[in-house]
A and B are shown apart, each in its own frame.
Chain A
């Protein structure tokens, strides 16, 4: 059963009581909330996610709720609970959905170490996968959203889960987080793009999330092999150009963009080196999405130098 198959009222009731067990990639998240706006956003953005049967194991127990007492009436806030603990300061209640997303990122980065986890988008086309690591401002999520809207399979916008043994990429397909001007850019790029509610004045500015493609969500258990690593670099002044990147430089970027390299220690080093060995390594400078998409197609067709 998918989340979208539950009526709005039933979903709201279940979230307030026993919770729902949402399958996100390899994880099962037991989620509770009394916040109606969060319930609506989940139905819109995670509608294609499968629900796990009741009574099984859940990887993360998460709830989001307003603090008790008078604060529920004056500038209401939301708290993120993980196993009953509150790891973060409260946020305005209008930031409930971004807080769920950021909190889940934190849970995975902090507790999941059977993978090398990179801060990277992962997409696939024609059985070729591209890992796109990138710091904030690199255009990673905007490019990721555009690729997903043009038929690429979305495995992740935020985290590459790289298998330590086989370097396989495990999908953790979730809504794509767009910030500030990226929201308008994607709406202009694809008028049919479905975006969740706008959250204003977050620590990252205005945030909205793009509904993931149905096909990508349905393939949530299908791992992918790795083919390329591309470092996107958006700049309005740059020309569109793909360049091969030195492997040792790519290793440094992977380490810089890893959540758990230091925890994995030697295993992290070995895995990151093998990943670089296994991939074509590129940088992509771009100033518009259409040209960037063309460049990404050239990467997967091995025609960068043509």
Chain B
């Protein structure tokens, strides 16, 4: 069993995009965050379907059309930590 993370369906995110920057409003916290394209894409993957770290790395590597590597794994771990810190994603035990 591994940790699954996703966007809490109780608090669907609201998005707005300007070029390669995205504003995301989280109704749960009432906070608005500005994220870049890659972070927005990663968060939207979790919004579509809860994932664990390994699954997310696989999905993102497909999106980026590249092989999985340590750098991507590290990016995902950091992104998940940041999303958790901001309350944008919640733990989904499966």
Check B32–A246 contact: CB distance below 8 A: no
Number of residue pairs across A and B with beta carbons under 8 Å? 33
29 inter-chain pairs at a CB distance below 8 angstroms, sorted by A residue, are A246-B18, A246-B21, A247-B18, A247-B19, A247-B21, A248-B18, A248-B21, A248-B22, A248-B23, A248-B34, A251-B16, A251-B23, A251-B32, A251-B34, A252-B34, A255-B32, A262-B30, A265-B27, A266-B14, A266-B25, A266-B27, A269-B14, A269-B16, A269-B23, A269-B25, A269-B32, A270-B14, A273-B16, A273-B23
Chain B proximity of A15: nearest CB distance (Å): 41
Complex CA distance for A262 and B16, rounded to whole angstroms? 17
Complex CA distance for A251 and B27, rounded to whole angstroms? 17
Chain A proximity of B35: nearest CB distance (Å): 9
Given A248-B18, A276-B18: A265 and B23 interface contact (C-beta under 8 Å): no
- Interface of chain B residues 16 through 72 with chain A (CB within 8 A): 16, 18-19, 21-23, 25, 27, 30, 32, 34
Contacts of A262 in B (CB 8 A): 30
- Interface of chain A residues 206 through 265 with chain B (CB within 8 A): 246-249, 251-252, 255, 262, 265
Complex CA distance for A178 and B51, rounded to whole angstroms? 55
Apart from the given pairs A247-B18, A265-B30, A273-B23, 6 other A-B contacts in the complex at a CB distance below 8 Å: A246-B21, A248-B18, A251-B16, A251-B23, A255-B32, A276-B18
- Interface of chain A residues 254 through 297 with chain B (CB within 8 A): 255, 262, 265-266, 269-270, 273, 276
Contacts of A276 in B (CB 8 A): 18
Instruction: Give the interface SS of chain A, mostly helix, strand, loop or mixed.
Output: helix
Which 4 interchain pairs have the tightest Cβ spacing?
Answer: A248-B21, A269-B25, A247-B18, A273-B16
Complex CA distance for A252 and B34, rounded to whole angstroms? 8
Nearest opposing residue in chain B for A270, CB measure: B14
Chain A proximity of B21: nearest CB distance (Å): 4
Contacts of B19 in A (CB 8 A): 247
Contacts of A248 in B (CB 8 A): 18, 21-23, 34
- Interface of chain A residues 85 through 143 with chain B (CB within 8 A): none
Contacts of A255 in B (CB 8 A): 32
Contacts of B14 in A (CB 8 A): 266, 269-270
Complex CA distance for A248 and B22, rounded to whole angstroms? 7
Chain B proximity of A78: nearest CB distance (Å): 36
